Structure 1
Amino acid sequence: MGFKILAINPGSTSTKIAIFEDEKAILTHTLRHSAEEIARFPHIIDQLEWRKEMILDALKSKNIDVKSLAAVIGRGGLVKPIESGVYEVNEALKNDLTHAQREHASNIGGLIAEQIAREAGVKAYIADPVVVDELQDVARISGLPECPRISIFHALNQKAIARRHAAKIGKRYEDLNLIVAHMGGGISVSAHCKGRVIDTNNALDGDGPFAPERAGTVPAGSLVSLCFSGKYTQPQIVKMLAGKGGLVAHLGKNSVQEICEKDIAGGDKHSKEVLDAMSYTISKAIGAMAVVLKGQVDAILLTGGVAYNEPVNEVIREHCSFLAPIVIYPGEDEMEALALNALGVLKGEMTPKVYA
């Protein structure tokens, strides 16, 4: 029998759980949460007990005894900037997850993991949260001292895909220069230099390519005018940047698959124009990261749910194939990435870091 690991990934309208036995998933399950259910809770932290009990009930219904677990790992939240790696959930981490800088469902991943791990008599971990910060110093400086550039990106999936690619070609991640574009509801494009992400766009609230739900970089003067037009409140502007920007703002939908298979296939020229523009901004970001790596790029990796859509990939190929080979790893298997990080600790291949 191998190590049995529970991985937990809370999202805004769902909680994904998976049981892995070593590298193999033996159970995957998604708990759906309606808008009405979520609306009962003023803050995400208030959902902690509710989501935990749902997970425990689901495990019980699948005849999974928590006492059989070797470790529990949850998706990391918006804590302070930290190095890439696996972190044991300690009191300092619990405090910063509870009082996170911003509301996000991922904040309760580590907290749920810690409570279930306590019942199981094992340790709880998080790995590669979105606040992983390995930026080189020059990448932090913007044109306004009051607005430094910060590292918020899809660290968990990007790091996992980069390592998978390295293993596939028989090399170490730490020996490669890679550009990884995670293309989901938000899009992050990052320069991986010998195992460290030395530059990336803030994929959360207004930097880089526009995305299915994010506005990305927009003309600063126009944004200032919008803010002071008197037409919108601050929360409305924030939502326009993250949640109702990008494809949602232009086309009223965030599904790239639907846009490709229904709208564009049906002859909708505007939908094609907007999707091509999004793909174009991704391409420009990839080009910028090639400059960050001084042209020494071993491969460009496209990942995330949007990478399933060939019309997007093709535009990127047209613009970027001269830079380096483009390899597509569609989807975002965050559950496997979480489990493999915990497994690395259990096997003694990785040393958990201490959050302080």
Structure 2
Amino acid sequence: MPDTPVNGSQVLVLNCGSSSLKFALINSRNGDASLSGLGDALGQSAPSVSWKIAGEKHNATLSEGAKHTEVIEFVVTNILSGQGSLLKQIAAIGHRVVHGGEKFSHSVRINDQVISAIQDCVALAPLHNPAHLQGIEAATKAFPGVPQVAVFDTAFHQTMPRHAYIYALPYTLYEEHGIRRYGMHGTSHRFVSERAALLLGKPTDDVNIISAHLGNGASIAAIQAGKSVDTSMGLTPLEGLVMGTRCGDIDPGILLHLGVRLDYCMKEINDLLNKKSGLLGISQLSNDCRALEQAATEGHQGAQLALEIFCYRLAKYIASYHGVLSQVDALVFTGGIGENSAFIRENVLNRLSGLGYQVCESSNLGMRFGAEGAIESSSSQAPTPKVLVIPTNEEWVIARDAAEIIGKDGSPASAQPQGGT
């Protein structure tokens, strides 16, 4: 990744989820994290914060019902306050924002207009965008005057052609209400496509990649000449692949059946599709792929079926994206499952043998816990795409973008946090 010339290399990266807040202090030049942590179970009875700094792990309990603001206060007053040398290097604060609609095709410095636009997209990401706004507000209070940058999950996919993002619904729904495919995980897909190009020895704008980001949330993207041309997630993060608790693609008529025939209300349907489906719903056991793989080896039929459906659906998407791209230089696995599950990767590649994919068993088994490299077999006679495992690093992308944007703006290079906000 290219160095970014700014007067302070450290960027405080904030990733606010509906009930969590990931934070990290990232060197924008090399991606190193001098601090990383997580505020978890926010808004609930037993919220906590855990962090790692100088190689040491720590944890603490927050007050009952504590939310994103309290986590940022804790980071400022209990962690960063004793790290004066790091504080002087903080150049900016970078925020992951899930949904930017059609308003943003790249990262931007946050101002009142940007905040208003993020608010306008709340209906498209009701679990995420409100949390991002809370994080921005809390960071503004804690670090007054420090520039902040929004990095949007949807921005990378704004290069999709209209035939890829328009649904076969009355066109007025798109014109008047913005109902279209937006896609998510764009920051991850962007990172691994750039990294794949580097590993292949080609410019980013000269490679075609199929990128599979597999975790509790999962999506796949077709990337042509470094730009997204199709992706599996749609208006919301619900569409596409089977996920941990989300159903992915289903017949829309099921929603009518649930509501009309089975008398489900909208909240019940929403909870069913987002929180009770996917791997959890099929297996009736867990949404954790590791637990399911273990249970499957012990003969649990629900776990076996869940993993089979997960791999089958993913293989279908990969095969379909071969038809989207003029050629495929590499298939990339990333995300928690993609980076660590040799079982999932082998199962998927075996289903794609008709396209020439063959897995190298020893290489595949060795790709875990941050390892990077190729796992395709060298015995194939026909030219086939490389198969790469690449650990994603969304935080570095956010830090790079933030440093680049505030560097161009000539903004202040160091932060002066305010405790007790």
> Is the TM-score greater than 0.5?
yes
3-state SS of paired residue (1:9): strand
Distance in 2 separating the partners of 1:228 and 1:62:
59
Find out whether 1:26 has 2:49 as its counterpart.
no
1:12 to 18, 21, 29: 18
Asked if the contact 1:205–1:242 (Cα under 8 Å) also holds between the matched residues in 2, the reply is no
Shift of 1:346: 5.6
Distance in 1 separating the partners of 2:246 and 2:82:
37
Q: Could you say if the C-alpha distance between residues 82 and 284 of structure 1 is closer, same or farther in structure 2, counting changes exceeding 3 Å? A: farther
Asked if the contact 2:93–2:147 (Cα under 8 Å) also holds between the matched residues in 1, the reply is yes
Normalised TM-score (structure 1):
0.85
Distance in 1 separating the partners of 2:133 and 2:197:
28
Shift of 1:127: 1.6
Find out whether 1:202 has 2:233 as its counterpart.
yes
Letter in 2 for 1:85: H
What is the aligned residue count?
340
3-state SS of paired residue (2:402): helix
Asked if the contact 1:110–1:124 (Cα under 8 Å) also holds between the matched residues in 2, the reply is no
Q: Could you say if the C-alpha distance between residues 141 and 75 of structure 1 is closer, same or farther in structure 2, counting changes exceeding 3 Å? A: closer
Q: Could you say if the C-alpha distance between residues 58 and 167 of structure 1 is closer, same or farther in structure 2, counting changes exceeding 3 Å? A: farther
Find out whether 1:92 has 2:100 as its counterpart.
no
Residues 93-142 of structure 1: CA deviation (Å, up to 9, x unaligned): 11133452232235443663465367353311122323642221111333
Shift of 1:220: 3.2
Find out whether 1:36 has 2:35 as its counterpart.
no
Asked if the contact 2:283–2:305 (Cα under 8 Å) also holds between the matched residues in 1, the reply is no
3-state SS of paired residue (2:245): coil
Residues 72-94 of structure 1: CA deviation (Å, up to 9, x unaligned): 10111323224543211121111
Q: Which range is displaced more, 48-57 or 223-232?
A: 48-57
Q: Could you say if the C-alpha distance between residues 174 and 338 of structure 1 is closer, same or farther in structure 2, counting changes exceeding 3 Å? A: same
Distance in 2 separating the partners of 1:176 and 1:283:
21
User: Mind listing any 5+ residue stretches in structure 1 that lack a counterpart?
Assistant: 40-45, 349-356
Q: Could you say if the C-alpha distance between residues 130 and 245 of structure 1 is closer, same or farther in structure 2, counting changes exceeding 3 Å? A: farther
Distance in 2 separating the partners of 1:266 and 1:61:
50
Q: Which range is displaced more, 136-145 or 97-106?
A: 97-106
Aligned to 1:351: none
3-state SS of paired residue (1:20): strand
Once the two structures are superposed, the pairs formed by residues 62-101 of structure 1 within 5 Å of their partners are 63=83, 66=87, 68-99=89-120, 100-101=122-123
Asked if the contact 2:329–2:385 (Cα under 8 Å) also holds between the matched residues in 1, the reply is yes
Distance in 1 separating the partners of 2:46 and 2:230:
35
1:275 to 296, 307, 324: 307
Once the two structures are superposed, the pairs formed by residues 143-154 of structure 1 within 5 Å of their partners are 143-145=168-170, 146=173, 149-154=180-185
Distance in 1 separating the partners of 2:169 and 2:13:
40
3-state SS of paired residue (1:242): helix
3-state SS of paired residue (2:275): coil
1:319 to 351, 357, 364: 351
3-state SS of paired residue (1:267): coil
Normalised TM-score (structure 2):
0.72
Distance in 2 separating the partners of 1:108 and 1:205:
16
Q: Which range is displaced more, 109-118 or 243-252?
A: 109-118
Aligned to 2:161: 136
Shift of 1:297: 0.9
Distance in 2 separating the partners of 1:48 and 1:13:
8
Letter in 2 for 1:104: L
Aligned to 1:52: 72
Name the larger-Rg structure: 2
Once the two structures are superposed, the pairs formed by residues 232-243 of structure 1 within 5 Å of their partners are 232-243=264-275
Distance in 2 separating the partners of 1:220 and 1:112:
34
Once the two structures are superposed, the pairs formed by residues 256-267 of structure 1 within 5 Å of their partners are 256-260=289-293, 262-267=294-299
Distance in 2 separating the partners of 1:107 and 1:329:
31
Asked if the contact 2:211–2:223 (Cα under 8 Å) also holds between the matched residues in 1, the reply is yes
Shift of 1:150: 1.0
Q: Could you say if the C-alpha distance between residues 133 and 241 of structure 1 is closer, same or farther in structure 2, counting changes exceeding 3 Å? A: farther
2:259 to 200, 212, 227: 227
User: Mind listing any 5+ residue stretches in structure 2 that lack a counterpart?
Assistant: 1-6, 48-65, 357-383, 409-421
Residues 253-281 of structure 1: CA deviation (Å, up to 9, x unaligned): 11001111x20121223311220111110
Asked if the contact 1:149–1:202 (Cα under 8 Å) also holds between the matched residues in 2, the reply is no
Asked if the contact 1:140–1:150 (Cα under 8 Å) also holds between the matched residues in 2, the reply is yes
Aligned to 2:218: 187
Shift of 1:327: 1.0
3-state SS of paired residue (1:181): strand
Distance in 2 separating the partners of 1:288 and 1:158:
18
Distance in 2 separating the partners of 1:130 and 1:242:
19
Aligned to 1:104: 127
Find out whether 1:178 has 2:178 as its counterpart.
no
